[in-house]
Amino acid sequence: MLGIIGGTALQQIPHAQHIKTIALITPFGALKSPIKLFQIHDHEVAIIARHGEHYELLPHEINNQANIWALKSLGVKTLLCINEANAINPSIQIGDVILANDFIDFTKGLRQHTFFGNGLAAKINFHPLTNALLALTLQSVARKVNLTCYQEKLCMVIEGPRYNTLSESLLQQHVYKADIVGQTQLPELFLAREAQMHVISLNLITELDQSHVDYTLQPDPEQLKQAIYIMLQKLYALLNQWLLTPLPTLLESERLTLENTILTPVSKLSQQQKLLLSVLRQ
């Protein structure tokens, strides 16, 4: 099953037939937003709105553990994470789509960033974090729906909800060489890889960051609203076309991040920890 985490607008994908809505209570608490199952062409797709059904959650308030655990418990092994982001790289503009493959975590420790701890120890290698083959198929389809799409870009993830100061933006642009900056990409992607999912990070550029060369030329709020509406229509077209295209066969070995990584002996695990591992290892 394919999973998608994104904004509330994803509940309105054209040609998506709603099957059912699932509200789950997970070991990490109840979902703030239910999972909606859709049939889109030949694919069963589980979609969850990370900010809640009515956009009520700030980035640090999102229960990423519950969202990822719930999707994995339903059988999701491939996850598309759709985020908004600001452009720092001067070659990137509003309306572009970025398939980020590397990340720098500038969040401040307010977010639960792992399924492990509290007596369950592991050392996990996330390389590669995102699936290059899936990203390549998305980029190919993006061209068909007239979306400018870049691969292999660096995303700086900040705590939010405030935007960067100018000095922060300059630091990220010139020292860290970041291409885009977002607030919700992490720890969502890290948790998805702990849950042994193939993941893709699709970032919609909705604004320019302060150090961007064209920042002062940014459209006014009404123009920006129209630009985002047009981008959403292209996103819907991209998703529909992508799901009409046969998805590539993915290597199971690239998904299995937990092989030989659990350090705590099974005999020392509680029933709850064994249940958690059984879901993550599916």
pLDDT, tens digit, for every residue of 36-74?
Answer: 999 999 999 999 999 998 899 999 999 999 999 999 999
Is the pLDDT at 145 greater than 80, yes or no? yes
Task: Give the model's pLDDT for residue 14.
Answer: 80
Q: What percent of the chain has pLDDT over 90?
A: 87
Is the pLDDT at 8 greater than 80, yes or no? no
pLDDT, tens digit, for every residue of 233-280?
Answer: 999 999 999 999 888 999 999 999 999 999 999 999 999 999 999 999
Band of residue 12 on the pLDDT scale cut at 50, 70, 90: confident
Tell me what the mean pLDDT of segment 12-38 comes to.
92
* Mean pLDDT of the residues in the chain: 94
Tell me what the mean pLDDT of segment 141-154 comes to.
94
Tell me what the mean pLDDT of segment 149-163 comes to.
97
Query: What structural domains and CATH numbers belong to the chain?
Result: 2-280 (3.40.50.1580)
Is the pLDDT at 215 greater than 80, yes or no? yes
Worst-scoring range by mean pLDDT, 181-185, 189-193, 252-256? 252-256
Is the pLDDT at 11 greater than 80, yes or no? no
Q: What percent of the chain has pLDDT over 70?
A: 100
Task: Give the model's pLDDT for residue 80.
Answer: 98
How many beta carbons lie within 10 A of that of residue 13, not counting itself?
Answer: 19
Band of residue 126 on the pLDDT scale cut at 50, 70, 90: confident
pTM: 0.96
Band of residue 92 on the pLDDT scale cut at 50, 70, 90: very high
Tell me what the mean pLDDT of segment 156-181 comes to.
97
Task: Give the model's pLDDT for residue 245.
Answer: 86
